[in-house]
Amino acid sequence: MRRFSWVKDNSKGLLIVVLSSIIVPLTVGALKDTTNMPCPNQLVEYGGSYTHIGLFEQLTEQQQRPATRCYPAGHASGGFSLLALLFLVTASRSKIIILVAVTILGWSTAIYKMAIGDHFFGRGVVTMVLAWLIILMIVAGVEKIKTILINNNISR
């Protein structure tokens, strides 16, 4: 019974963690489809066959190529989505431990992908910031829904 009371007491934080673990990687995956940016190891400068284009630049007729999916950093998004665990605990010591552990997890994945030529450093930074912003939007949404549910229960 004690376990069930912990789940009940922490249902909001658990919901934030679950939603973040799903929404952050899905959003990053959708962005990877949209941005169509090649990996560093696919660029001419690093031995590949694609010319570099900026994020908001259009490909010319001569630059047309198969779709590439290297921006933002997809693997790191899974690790950075766990930043939502910060909303599951209240003790500042626990928050620091979670922040350090999740940051190490996300960056170890990002650094590995940089080492094999799949990402630049900035792509990991963008993914981390994007994950945090998405998590904050999820928190705001959960808070809004909680407020609506509480107000509806009181008015009945």
Where are any strands of DSSP class E within 2-146? Answer: none
The DSSP line for 33-85 is HHH-PPPGGGBGGGT-SB----TTPPPPGGG-------SS-HHHHHHHGGGGG
Q: What integer pLDDT is reported at residue 85 of this predicted model?
A: 97
Would you state the pLDDT for residue 95?
97
CB-CB neighbours of 76 under 10 Å: 29
Joined together, the tokens standing for residue 19 give 């939603």
- Report the chain (156 residues): mean pLDDT per 10 consecutive residues: 75 95 97 90 91 81 80 95 96 96 97 95 97 98 91 69
pLDDT of residue 65: 78
Q: Cα 144–145–148 angle (5° rounding)?
A: 90
What's the rounded Cα separation, in Å, for the pair 88 and 94? 10
Q: Is the pTM of this model over 0.85?
A: yes
The sign of the CA dihedral 80, 82, 87, 91 is negative
- Tens of pLDDT along 14-31? 999 999 999 999 999 999
Write down the pLDDT at residue 8: 81
